[in-house]
Structure 1
Amino acid sequence: MTYVKVCALDEVPADGALGVEVDGTPVAIARSGGDVFALNDICSHAEVSLSEGEVYNGTIECWLHGSCFDLRSGKPTNPPATQPVAIYKVRVEDGEVYVSLAGDD
């Protein structure tokens, strides 16, 4: 599996998100409760950037209509979104965040 370095960990706000791009794919890097997550940065409901929303209680909230997505599964936790967003494998090494868009190990 190929991991791509996307940012330094200290660039991602605690309980917040940062938008990056991996091989042309928009990715939101989110921190919640000390953990780091990576998911598609485009809301499945309104096609706006999720990384511009709020991160809380293990979710990221779309700033436009308020849909929340579980950071671990990408599944919406409330309407209006009904479709999940893709999640990606993430690892942190030596203060750097790496993401893999591949679906398997």
Structure 2
Amino acid sequence: MTAQRACGVGELEQDTPLRVVIDDVAIAIVKDADDEIHAIGDRCTHGDISLAEGFVEGKTLECWAHGSAFSLETGHPLNLPAYEPVPVYVVTIDGDDVLIDPTVIKEV
């Protein structure tokens, strides 16, 4: 599969997650305070909660329900109760388009 358009760069607000679904894969896209764009799996591994409804702080995305924070760069949880990582996807910017291939997990 090839990368598909997930959203436009202009649709992303700093530190505000955006939920997208590509080929039935839910992904949370975040533009952090450094204007870097990240894409991680949208489901908290602790409670099956949408991470896109959570809170961004620095390079982390915190689940609103139980407080587990996940690294936007590695997908690893930084605190309990989550202990399993979420997938991190490769992000490609093409003009104003954010492209993601949901079948390619970023090597971290």
Q: Taking structure 2 as the reference length, what is the TM-score of the superposition?
A: 0.91
- Distance, in Å, in 2 between the alignment partners of 1:14 and 1:61 is 15
Cα deviation, residue 31, structure 1: 1.1
Match of 1:31 in 2: 31
Matched pairs, number? 104
Counterpart of 1:16 in structure 2 is 16
TM-score (normalizing by structure 1): 0.93
1:80 maps to: 81
Residue 93 of structure 1 corresponds to which residue in structure 2? Answer: 94
Query: 2: CA distance between counterparts of 1:80 and 1:103?
Result: 23
Letter in 2 for 1:8: G
State the superposition RMSD in angstroms.
Answer: 1.3
Aligned partner of 1:60 in structure 2 is 61
Return the alpha-carbon distance in structure 1 between the equivalents of residues 83 and 46 of structure 2. Answer: 7
Residue by residue over 1:42-81, the C-alpha shift from the partner in whole angstroms, topping out at 9 and shown as x without a partner, is 0000001001111111000001011000001000011110
TM-fit CA distance, 1:103: 3.7
- For the residue of structure 1 that corresponds to 2:40, the secondary structure is strand
Structure 2 unaligned blocks of 5 or more = none
Percent of aligned pairs sharing the same letter: 37
